[in-house]
């Protein structure tokens, strides 16, 4: 149970102003436009970098504001970070195999 | 007539309500624990039955008892049942369910209805898998390796995979419930540093359940889709990579072996400290070692794939990372032994099992380190050496711990004492039977006998006969507790609230506990395992 | 806080919690834990995608050029709008306005169904073009000058496309069901300013599903600049 000295419980304390929601929404729409546009420009390997960067910005906005992570407890934030951490482990350690497999076949 | 008043039983979770409905619709974590106990015990015997058939077949070098196809099905179904339907839920879903709310001083788990749901999901999954087995069985091995499982096997892969898929969600929900409960439901004063190590261990296992199980779920779903629609993701003929299946499968299933050991380690902590009458040596290290095992456990999975064709560079990395897991595991072993050192040790049944655990787990863990060395593994991969390794940790480790825990908390759960002499005998039989069964397998494996064949060259017969003989002793060792536990329900001596003079909130409430666990919410003012200072009898709450 | 609010709250407090605060924070934390499992669930598919895309880039480019980027972009916008109305709906619940909440969530449902409709149109196109993995799969770039370089692995692309978007669509369907339930319960007076946890949790779920799409869209539709129609 939580320490009692914290401020009195008020479920309305995270009431986010409508204007903020609308701003986030507008930003998400604009970023969607940008990512579609960016895909039409030839950037080589950076196409995917840009696309993922924009997706991550959008995702962060959704998580922080729509999902109220910004107003949540530390515990919730740690939870989200942990999920991302283990996802990255899954991706990166799998790729250690796929990215270096060609090296080992050249050994044979 | 004063005695008549005393025999009136206090209201508790068992006698508060009667009838089948009061059990099937219960949201009481203690009753759900018992539902799980009954279900996984049934699964244990079914899995054990398959094991006996396997051992009988291996009595002679020729494949005479069953055909090779049947043999394939036997070891597959043995593995599936024991891993997914017995070991993974074993300690968490029974003892964990029962004890975690008690240990943290809560009235229930955070989500009681989700807890009941998890049992129903478990049952649906189990029945699905069993149906697949009754209809003809599966022969892919519990690991479902592709492309055999997706393309070539014409057994009931689909049913078994779906059964496991479903049961996965029960494991996820249990894990989720534990994590949330331990974070949010602790009684006043029950800080993280006072949390019983059993809770720490189950917390770590719960992390794995929550983070890993979804990955194996989606993987099995892909196997099912591949069988249904030929989508080719794991099929080399269609451009897929079968090794991707192994990556995804072991991303879960290696950490899952820690689901199968961490809660057991938690049980051993409680027992070793109680029967040495000493505080656990290095409490913080043991607690953090649990978390470290859970995290590091996610970094080593490809040690199951060393000879499957992964890049040797990746294999090197995974081999090194695998050694790392041995460190927190060793921390635990050292802490148990250090706790024993100069303790006033009592040899009650739970302690005998705990001794068995410590020794056997150490053997299993150390042979794991052998296997994690690239060079050795090339030699012994897919031999009986591996079989012996994982049975030492899973049966010698987890099943021992489960038995230890059942004996330790049986008085609390049922309000009855079990017969101590019989229990000691069973602990002895299990230890002797286990070693006779599995020690020979290290030898035949090292000599090169591959696993998963129903026939073998005659020079291996002596050791195999020994192993089968051991398995029979082991079986007796498991049947005995079945009998005397059931016997004790009726004839066992009524148990006092704290028969072992142990510390911990669960011992401060009557046996069996009342429906709401505590008459009043406990307030914790003492350190965990304060065996040196705590005069036990004084701290019983509200009794 | 009005007395009726307190009554709703007292009614909603389960016996094993000390107070509403503990109950609310506990169930929200539980929801986040659940979303963690969802992340890992989709994570397995994303891992497969990563592995194959890294290995067979060209085949993936050719596959992605069969995507209708405008429908995809429209759907992205639709989902973002639905997330806005969902966020506003949760806000209405926070303020204790069940009717407003119902209207906003209804908009969310309409947008969600719109998404599914557009997705169905796309699925239909792929189906007709034999772009469904399995025995009927057949792939051509549609440009005789550049025949398909690696149709075998383009089939893998389509397998992943169907699996990922299909799983996502399934989550959308479940989401629509959940939101419907919230609307009905809300109009029945189940929530108040003191107790609206289910609304909040369903909101979290909805936004999460949106989040998955935010990644699916660029990964599946926007691989290379030359997209066909
Ligand atoms: C010190 C920690 C451990 C290490 C370094 C380790 C290492 C290994 C390695 C390298 C293998 C692969 C052998 C092969 O197939 O060639 C293996 C197999 C296995 N281990 Fe362990 N292990 C450890 C602890 C455990 C524990 C605690 C459990 C279970 C409770 C366990 C269960 C298994 C199982 C089930 C397999 C065989 C899977 C199969 O192929 O069917 N291990 N271990
Ligand atoms: Cu392993």
CATH label of the domain that carries residue B236: 1.20.210.10
- Distance between CA atoms of residues B369 and B323, nearest Å: 6
Ligand 1 atom 12: residue of nearest CA: B304
Stretch A10-39: mean pLDDT: 88
Substitution target from C32, C82, C94 for chain A, most A beta carbons within 10 A: C32
Confidence of residue B535 (pLDDT cuts 50, 70, 90): low
Q: How far is B494 from chain A (nearest CA, A)?
A: 34
Identify the closest residue of chain A to C39 by CA–CA distance.
Answer: A83
Instruction: Residue B176: count other Cβ atoms within 10 Å of its Cβ.
Output: 27
User: Among residues 70-89 of chain A, which lie with CB inside 8 Å of chain B?
Assistant: 75, 82-83, 86, 89
- C169 CA → ligand 1 middle, Å: 38
Give A1's contacts in chain C (Cβ within 8 Å).
Answer: 18, 22
Substitution target from C12, C16, C42 for chain B, most B beta carbons within 10 A: C16
In the DSSP assignment, the letter for residue B439 is H
Identify the closest residue of chain A to B310 by CA–CA distance.
Answer: A97
Which residues, at least 6 apart from B11, have a Cβ–Cβ distance to it below 8 Å?
Answer: B514, B515
Give the residue among B14, B150, B164 at the shortest CA–CA distance from B77: B164
CA B152 to chain centre: 32
B543 occurs within a structural domain: no
Give the residue among B299, B398, B496, B511 at the shortest CA–CA distance from B96: B398
Q: Is A101 in Cβ contact with B311 (below 8 Å)?
A: yes
- C167 CA → ligand 2 middle, Å: 29
Stretch C64-76: mean pLDDT: 94
Q: Answer positive or negative: Cα dihedral of B384, B390, B395, B397.
A: positive
Instruction: Indicate whether C225 pLDDT > 70.
Output: no
Confidence of residue C135 (pLDDT cuts 50, 70, 90): confident
Which long-range contacts (C-beta less than 8 Å, at least 24 apart) are formed by C100-109?
C101/C183, C101/C186, C101/C191, C101/C199, C102/C183, C102/C186, C102/C187, C105/C179, C105/C182, C105/C183, C105/C186, C106/C183, C107/C82, C108/C82, C108/C179, C108/C206, C109/C176, C109/C179, C109/C180, C109/C183
Chains with 3 or more CB pairs under 8 A to chain B: A, C
B542 occurs within a structural domain: no
- Distance between CA atoms of residues B146 and B220, nearest Å: 11
Structure tokens at C60: 């993936």
- Distance between CA atoms of residues C151 and C32, nearest Å: 40
Give the residue among B376, B145, B313 at the shortest CA–CA distance from A93: B313
pTM of this structure: 0.94
Q: Which of B177, B183, B244 sits opposite C51 (nearest CB)?
A: B244
Instruction: Indicate whether C174 pLDDT > 90.
Output: yes
Task: Give the C-alpha distances (Å, rounded to integers) separating B524 from B102, B189, C184.
Answer: 13, 5, 43
- What's the mean per-residue pLDDT of chain B? 94
Give A82's contacts in chain B (Cβ within 8 Å).
Answer: 211
Ligand 1 atom 6: residue of nearest CA: B368
- B54 CA → ligand 1 middle, Å: 21
- Distance between CA atoms of residues B214 and C40, nearest Å: 6
- State the pLDDT at residue C20: 84
- State the pLDDT at residue C2: 54
Contact between residue B483 and residue B511 where contact means Cβ atoms under 8 Å apart = no
Ligand 1 atom 21: residue of nearest CA: B368
H or E element at residue B338: helix B312-340
CATH class of C22-136+145-227: mainly alpha
Q: How far is C185 from chain B (nearest CA, A)?
A: 19
The domain ranges of chain C are 22-136+145-227
Q: Is C195 in Cβ contact with A18 (below 8 Å)?
A: no
Half-sphere exposure of C104 (CA within 13 A, CB side): 20
- B255 CA → ligand 2 middle, Å: 7
- Distance between CA atoms of residues B361 and B363, nearest Å: 5
Stretch C115-143: mean pLDDT: 91
Is the CB of residue A90 less than 8 Å away from at least one CB of chain C?
yes
Encode pLDDT of B456-496 as tens digits: 999 999 999 999 999 999 999 999 999 999 999 999 999 99
Q: How far is B112 from chain C (nearest CA, A)?
A: 9
- State the pLDDT at residue C19: 84
H or E element at residue B332: helix B312-340
Identify the closest residue of chain C to B515 by CA–CA distance.
Answer: C16
Show the ligand 1 pocket: residues with CB < 6 angstroms. B 143, 257, 260-261, 303-304, 322, 325-326, 329, 365, 368-369, 371-372, 377, 381, 386, 389-390, 393-394, 397-398
Structure tokens at A70: 């910004």
- Distance between CA atoms of residues C206 and C144, nearest Å: 43
Structure tokens at C157: 């692309």
Q: Is A97 in Cβ contact with B310 (below 8 Å)?
A: yes
User: Among residues 42-61 of chain C, which lie with CB inside 8 Å of chain A?
Assistant: 43-44, 46-47, 50-51, 54-55
Is the CB of residue A37 less than 8 Å away from at least one CB of chain C?
no
User: Do the interacting molecules here have an ipTM over 0.90?
Assistant: yes
Ligand 1 atom 19: residue of nearest CA: B390
Atom of ligand 1 nearest to the CA of B141: 41
Give the residue among B43, B44, B72 at the shortest CA–CA distance from B57: B72
B16 occurs within a structural domain: no
Percentage, residues of chain B above pLDDT 90: 90
Stretch B43-50: mean pLDDT: 97
- Distance between CA atoms of residues B279 and B281, nearest Å: 6
- State the pLDDT at residue B537: 46
Strand partners for C195: C192
Task: Give the C-alpha distances (Å, rounded to integers) separating B312 from A100, B315, B325.
Answer: 8, 5, 20
B292 occurs within a structural domain: yes
- State the pLDDT at residue A7: 41
Q: How far is B12 from chain C (nearest CA, A)?
A: 17
**Domain containing B89: what range?**
27-533
Encode pLDDT of B230-281 as tens digits: 888 999 988 899 999 999 999 999 999 999 999 999 999 999 999 999 999 9
């Amino acid at each position: 149970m939580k320490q009692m000295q914290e401020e009195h419980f008020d479920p309305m304390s995270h009431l986010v102003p409508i204007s903020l929601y609308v701003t986030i929404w507008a930003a998400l729409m604009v970023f969607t436009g940008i990512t579609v546009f960016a895909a039409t420009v030839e950037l080589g390997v950076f196409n995917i970098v840009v696309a993922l960067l924009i997706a991550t910005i959008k995702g962060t906005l959704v998580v922080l504001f729509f999902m109220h992570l910004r107003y949540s407890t530390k515990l919730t934030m740690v939870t989200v970070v942990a999920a991302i951490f283990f996802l990255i482990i899954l991706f990166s350690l799998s790729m250690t195999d796929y990215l270096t497999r060609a090296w080992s076949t050249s050994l044979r | 007539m004063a005695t008549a008043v005393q025999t009136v039983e206090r209201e508790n979770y068992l006698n508060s309500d009667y009838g089948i409905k009061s059990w099937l619709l219960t949201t009481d974590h203690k009753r759900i624990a018992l539902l799980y106990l009954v279900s996984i015990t049934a699964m244990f015997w079914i899995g054990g039955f398959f094991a006996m058939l396997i051992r009988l077949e291996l009595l002679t070098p020729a494949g005479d008892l069953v055909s090779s196809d049947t043999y394939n099905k036997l070891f597959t179904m043995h593995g599936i049942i024991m891993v997914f339907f017995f070991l993974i839920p074993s300690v968490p879903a029974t003892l964990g369910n029962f004890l975690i709310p008690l240990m943290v001083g809560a009235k229930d788990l955070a989500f009681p209805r989700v807890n009941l749901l998890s049992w129903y999901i478990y049952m649906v999954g189990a029945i699905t898998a069993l149906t697949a087995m009754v209809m003809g069985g599966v022969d892919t091995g519990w690991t479902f390796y592709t492309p055999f499982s997706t393309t070539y096997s014409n057994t009931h892969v689909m049913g078994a995979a779906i059964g496991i898929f479903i049961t996965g969600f029960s494991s996820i929900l249990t894990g989720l419930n534990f994590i949330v409960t331990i974070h949010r439901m602790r009684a006043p004063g029950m800080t993280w540093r006072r949390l019983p190590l059993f809770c720490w261990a189950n917390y770590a296992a719960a992390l794995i359940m929550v983070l890993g199980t979804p990955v194996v779920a989606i993987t099995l779903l892909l196997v099912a889709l591949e069988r249904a629609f030929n989508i080719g993701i794991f099929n080399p003929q269609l451009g897929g990579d079968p090794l991707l299946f192994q990556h995804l499968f072991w991303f879960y299933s290696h950490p899952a072996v820690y689901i199968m050991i961490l809660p057991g380690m938690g049980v051993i902590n409680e027992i070793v400290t109680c029967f040495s009458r000493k505080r656990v040596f290095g409490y913080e290290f043991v607690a953090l070692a649990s978390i470290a095992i859970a995290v590091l456990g996610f970094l080593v999975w490809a040690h199951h794939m060393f000879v499957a064709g992964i890049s040797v560079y990746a294999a090197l990395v995974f081999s090194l990372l695998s050694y790392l897991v041995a460190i927190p595991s060793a921390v635990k072993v050292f802490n148990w032994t250090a706790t024993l050192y100069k303790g006033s040790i009592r040899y009650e049944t739970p302690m005998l099992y705990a001794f068995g655990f410590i020794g056997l787990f150490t053997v299993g863990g150390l042979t794991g380190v052998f296997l994690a060395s690239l060079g050795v593994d090339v030699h012994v991969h897919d031999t009986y050496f591996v079989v012996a390794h994982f049975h030492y940790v899973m049966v010698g480790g987890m099943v021992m711990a489960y038995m230890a825990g059942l004996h330790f908390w049986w008085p609390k759960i049922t309000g009855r004492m079990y017969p101590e002499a019989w229990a000691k005998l069973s602990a002895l039989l299990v230890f002797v039977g286990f070693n006779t069964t599995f020690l020979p397998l290290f030898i035949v494996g090292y000599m090169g006998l591959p696993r998963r064949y129903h026939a073998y060259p005659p020079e291996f017969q002596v050791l195999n006969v020994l192993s089968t003989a051991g398995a029979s002793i082991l079986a007796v060792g498991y049947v005995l507790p079945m009998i005397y536990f059931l016997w004790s329900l009726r004839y066992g001596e009524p148990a006092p609230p704290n028969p072992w003079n142990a510390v911990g909130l669960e011992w401060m409430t009557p046996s069996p506990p009342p429906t709401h666990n505590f008459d009043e919410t406990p307030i914790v003012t003492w350190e965990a395992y304060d065996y040196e200072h705590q005069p036990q009898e004084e701290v019983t709450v509200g009794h | 806080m009005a007395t009726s609010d307190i009554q709703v709250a007292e009614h909603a407090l389960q016996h094993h919690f000390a107070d509403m605060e503990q109950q609310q924070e506990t169930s929200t934390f539980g929801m986040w834990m659940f979303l963690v499992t969802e992340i890992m669930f989709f994570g397995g598919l994303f891992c497969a995608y990563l592995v194959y895309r890294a290995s067979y880039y060209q085949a993936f480019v050719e596959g992605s050029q069969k995507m209708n980027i405008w429908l995809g972009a429209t759907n992205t916008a639709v989902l973002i709008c639905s997330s806005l109305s969902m966020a506003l709906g949760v806000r209405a619940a926070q303020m204790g306005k069940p009717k407003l909440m119902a209207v906003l969530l209804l908009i969310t449902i309409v947008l969600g169904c719109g998404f599914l409709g557009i997705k169905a149109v796309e699925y239909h196109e792929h189906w007709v073009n034999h772009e469904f993995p399995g025995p009927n799969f057949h792939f051509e770039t549609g440009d005789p000058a550049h025949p398909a370089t690696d149709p075998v692995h383009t089939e893998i692309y389509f397998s992943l496309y169907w699996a990922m978007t299909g799983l996502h669509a399934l989550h959308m369907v479940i989401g629509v069901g959940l939101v419907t339930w919230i609307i009905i319960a809300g109009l029945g007076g189940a929530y108040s300013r003191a107790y609206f946890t289910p609304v909040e949790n369903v909101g979290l779920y909805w936004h999460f599903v949106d989040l998955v799409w935010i990644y699916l869209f660029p990964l599946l539709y926007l691989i290379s600049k030359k997209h066909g129609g």
